[in-house]
Amino acid sequence: MQSLPEAPVAIGEAARRSGVSAKMLRHYESLGLLGQVVRTESGYRQYTAADVHTLRFIKRCRDLGFSMAEIAELVNLWQNRSRASASVKRIAQKHVDELSTRIAAMQAMQRSLHDLLQHCHGDARPDCPILDDLAGGKARLHCAHD
């Protein structure tokens, strides 16, 4: 027995099913990530099961921190059954490399702040090595980890 295709749903239901807000759903549509969304005669958007599936794909990409440009590429590759997986891997590898760079930069910031905290008395005195460092003053500290 063949199941009947699901009827298209309005934007609120598509948002609920995909876990994407209606505002972001409209944004993704405006970027062309969903293709042509069907509209009723009165202009209301109608989303198919395939549209909702694409929205879930986009949400997962966003959850992993991919940029909108990367997501557009990934959606196109996902929908293209003759794609080369090497293209997908290239995008993912580039993203991992960028994440590693950002993580290293954040760890350096964390070390610098820990060093500043070590030198701050945190008492009623007005002198503050943290503020001095932020202002680029002569009391600037240099972390041994940098």
Tell me, yes or no, whether 77 lies in a domain.
Answer: no
Are 2 and 53 within one domain?
yes
Model confidence at 146: pLDDT above 60: no
Give me the residues paired with residue 39 across strands: 45
Per-residue CA distances from 93 to 33, 70, 83, 97 (Å): 22, 12, 17, 6
Q: Which amino acid is at 22?
A: A
Tell me, yes or no, whether 120 lies in a domain.
Answer: yes
Residue 117 lies in domain: 84-146
Model confidence at 143: pLDDT above 50: no
Mean pLDDT of the chain: 89
CATH (domain of 45): 1.10.1660.10
pLDDT the model gives residue 102:
97
Tell me, yes or no, whether 51 lies in a domain.
Answer: yes
Q: Which residues of 3-26 are buried (b: 16+ CB within 10 A; e: fewer)?
A: eeeeebbebeebbebbebeeebbb
Are 100 and 53 within one domain?
no
pLDDT the model gives residue 107:
98
Residue predicted with more confidence, 146 or 104:
104
CB-neighbour burial class of residue 52 (10 A; exposed 0-12, middle 13-18, buried 19+): buried
How many distinct structural domains can be found in the chain?
A: 2
Strand ranges (DSSP E) for 3-97? 38-39, 45-46
Q: Which tens digits make up the pLDDT trace of 6-62?
A: 889 999 999 999 999 999 999 999 999 998 888 888 989 999 999 999 999 999 999
